[in-house]
RNA sequence: GGCCCGUUCGUCUAGGGGUUAGGACAGGAGAUUUUCAUUCUUCAAACAGGGGUUCGAUUCCCCUACGGGCUACCA
């Protein structure tokens, strides 16, 4: 590390949907970068051609956009260190691998996959390392002549790092503190594959160096291979420019244990991906938070507090607040089980705090998908304001507001018919007439009129209030009934009383 | 198996050598409400175990247990 401008990167491989944990890694990178006035780079790690999935890169980009976590440099927007797809940088990695071979820190290995498999079968806990590399076919065990012959014949080969003996390699993780490894126990990882592509190990080091990355945040699953990366930084002569590392804790299954996977989502009924992901090959649709009805602000908020807090009791944070308050040192070391109930709570909080104006476009889409055409934006805003407190997920807006746009499709007759009386019919007929003539159409006035009339007719308020609600709404739910009537308007309210009366007395 | 990382209420977590171990979600009870939700009040709920160190450990150290990750020419 040095005092140059902060540069971080998120480096996903385009192999499928974007997992919760991935978004959280993006988020932490992003927050750190923005807080330090730094640069957030998106780099695509597509060195495994066999796992490449069409559309996955665009999907990742869409997720980032939805979350509002925009990359300063990426394959799409470009940047001074382009290209940002490792497959397009293929040519450059070999040089570094060869340099390591020349220095004696790496070597050619000619073993075929079948030979390796055989060896693993023969020897329990086989590790391609100092214990066994002499038994394999590589430029350490073979004579120089044999190696040259193989190379001249273009024999398929990989380049492996040569792990040193009896060394201790350690580093200071920003989250975990000192972590150390014994090099005798780490194997000779492949650096360059037979197809000429680098493995993650080589690519991450070369690209982090070339792209001047100052801080590298990644999931805890990478911790065991950290010594390989550290050694590469050292052997390539870049030790003093190595980024500071932070290994983020994993997000675990809510029940049992283990890393959260998309299977858990399907099993337990909640999304794991940021947005819907459709796998063209398996025709399988994996649901996403966005489509389920999460606000990106809520999604970001819940992810941020999964493993991090600012030391106060604050739980709701805007992106700007997160940028201001985030600190990598306050990230927890232990993995966190994902709690969907709490996730929904965050969303409900965010909906409550959002303005009708900001919610309107989303609600409009939801309603239109259900066949409701919204013609009056002002009316929509008022509707949103009266119901948003009872919405948890965006689609709830439909269930909570459809009656504002159309006469109830059906009534909860069980709630009214058994207790219906002629006196109630008289009451509502009179109410209708009174409402028709009402000079003021506001909640307080309507309520006063309603109560006075009920009293006059000798009816208990409660006995007519619920039927009135069902006349307007269709069911036993919704905000205060006179707020509904006010919004609905004089004509529509009177109309609904008449319509419902027919159904109730049939 | 080996290596690495971890362990405070059911869950997310705050705290930190002497505290009534705090908050949030979920759960219970109650208030408000004509429904439902919101809101408010309230209850229950935790320092994995064993050794040290110490006047005193949940907090520091060690061990054990448990959990997780990695152990591919995948990332």
Interval A23-78: pLDDT, tens: 999 999 999 999 999 999 999 999 999 999 999 999 999 999 999 999 999 999 99
**pLDDT tens sequence across A247-304:** 999 999 998 778 999 999 999 999 999 999 999 888 999 999 999 999 999 999 999 9
The span from the CA of A396 to the CA of A400, in Å, is 6
Which residues of A does the annotation place in the binding site for ATP? 262
A396 touches strand B (CB under 7 A): no
Nucleotides of strand B within 7 Å of the protein's CB atoms: 1-8, 10-15, 22-26, 33-38, 67-75
A469 touches strand B (CB under 7 A): yes
* Whether the bond into A83 is cis, omega within 30 of 0: yes
Report the distance from CA of residue A462 to the C1' of nucleotide B30 in Å, as an integer. Answer: 22
> Among this protein's residues, is A417 annotated catalytic?
no
A254 touches strand B (CB under 7 A): yes
Q: Which of A399, A408, A373 is nearest to A478 (CA)?
A: A399
Report the distance from CA of residue A328 to the C1' of nucleotide B17 in Å, as an integer. Answer: 27
A420 touches strand B (CB under 7 A): no
Which residues of A does the annotation place in the binding site? 262
Report the distance from CA of residue A34 to the C1' of nucleotide B15 in Å, as an integer. Answer: 29
Q: Which helix (H) or strand (E) holds A96?
A: helix A90-103
Q: pLDDT grade, residue A92 (50/70/90)?
A: very high
Q: Which nucleotide is nearest to A117 (CA to C1')?
A: B72
* Pairing of the two strands A168-173 and A177-182: antiparallel
Report the distance from CA of residue A253 to the C1' of nucleotide B68 in Å, as an integer. Answer: 11
**pLDDT tens sequence across A46-57:** 999 999 999 999
Helix axes A296-304, A340-353, angle to 10 degrees: 130
Confidence at residue A3, expressed as pLDDT on a 0 to 100 scale: 59
**pLDDT tens sequence across A332-349:** 999 999 999 999 999 999
The span from the CA of A127 to the CA of A28, in Å, is 35
Confidence at residue A506, expressed as pLDDT on a 0 to 100 scale: 79
**Catalytic entry in A262, A344, A388, A424:** A262
Phi, psi (5° rounding) for residue A112? -85, 160
DSSP 8-class letter at A165? S
The span from the CA of A24 to the CA of A40, in Å, is 14
> A466: Cβ–Cβ under 8 A, 6 or more apart, which residues?
A415, A416, A476
Q: Which nucleotide is nearest to A247 (CA to C1')?
A: B5
């Amino acid at each position: 590390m040095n005092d140059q401008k902060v540069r971080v990167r998120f480096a996903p491989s385009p192999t499928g949907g974007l997992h919760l944990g991935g978004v959280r890694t993006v988020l932490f990178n992003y927050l750190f970068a923005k807080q330090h006035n730094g640069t957030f780079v998106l780099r695509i790690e597509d060195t495994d051609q066999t796992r490449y999935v069409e559309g996955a890169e665009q999907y990742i980009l869409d997720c980032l956009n939805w979350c509002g976590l925009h990359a300063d440099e990426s394959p799409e927007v470009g940047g001074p260190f382009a290209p940002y797809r490792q497959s397009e940088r293929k040519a450059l990695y070999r040089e570094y691998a060869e340099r390591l071979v020349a220095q004696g820190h790496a070597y050619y290995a000619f073993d075929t996959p079948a030979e390796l498999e055989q060896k693993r079968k023969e020897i329990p806990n086989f590790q391609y390392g100092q214990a066994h590399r002499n038994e394999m076919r590589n430029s350490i065990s073979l004579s120089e002549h044999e190696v040259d012959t193989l190379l001249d014949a273009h024999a398929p080969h990989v380049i492996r790092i040569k792990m040193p003996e009896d060394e201790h390699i350690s580093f200071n993780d920003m989250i975990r503190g000192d972590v150390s490894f014994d090099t005798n126990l780490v194997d000779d990882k492949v650096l360059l594959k037979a197809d000429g592509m680098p493995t993650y190990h080589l690519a991450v080091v070369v690209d982090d160096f070339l792209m001047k990355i100052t801080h590298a945040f990644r999931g805890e699953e990478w911790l065991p291979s950290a010594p390989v990366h550290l050694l590469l930084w050292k052997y390539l002569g870049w030790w003093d420019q190595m980024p500071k590392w932070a290994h983020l804790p994993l997000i675990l299954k809510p029940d049992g244990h283990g890393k959260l996977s998309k299977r858990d989502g399907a099993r337990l009924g909640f999304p794991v991906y940021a947005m819907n992901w459709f796998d063209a090959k398996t025709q399988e649709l994996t649901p996403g938070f966005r489509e389920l009805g999460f606000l990106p602000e809520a999604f970001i908020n819940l992810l941020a507090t999964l493993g991090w807090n600012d030391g106060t009791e604050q739980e709701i944070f805007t992106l700007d607040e997160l940028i201001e308050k985030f600190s990598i040192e306050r990230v927890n070391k232990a993995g966190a089980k994902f709690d969907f109930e709490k996730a929904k709570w965050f969303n409900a909080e965010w909906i409550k705090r959002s303005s009708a104006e900001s919610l309107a476009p989303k609600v409009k889409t939801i309603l239109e998908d259900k066949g409701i055409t919204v013609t009056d934006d002002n009316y929509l805003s008022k509707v949103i304001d009266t119901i948003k407190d009872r919405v948890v997920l965006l689609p709830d807006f439909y269930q909570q507001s459809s009656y504002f746009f159309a006469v109830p499709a059906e009534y909860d007759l069980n709630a009214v018919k058994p207790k219906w009386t002629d006196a109630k019919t008289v009451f509502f007929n009179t109410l209708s007439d009174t409402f028709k003539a009402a000079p003021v159409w506001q909640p307080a006035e309507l309520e006063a009129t309603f109560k006075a009339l009920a009293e006059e007719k000798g009816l208990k308020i409660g006995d007519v209030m619920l039927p009135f609600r069902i006349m307007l709404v269709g069911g036993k739910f919704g905000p205060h009934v006179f707020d509904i009537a006010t919004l609905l308007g004089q004509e529509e309210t009177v109309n609904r009383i008449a319509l419902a009366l027919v159904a109730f007395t049939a």
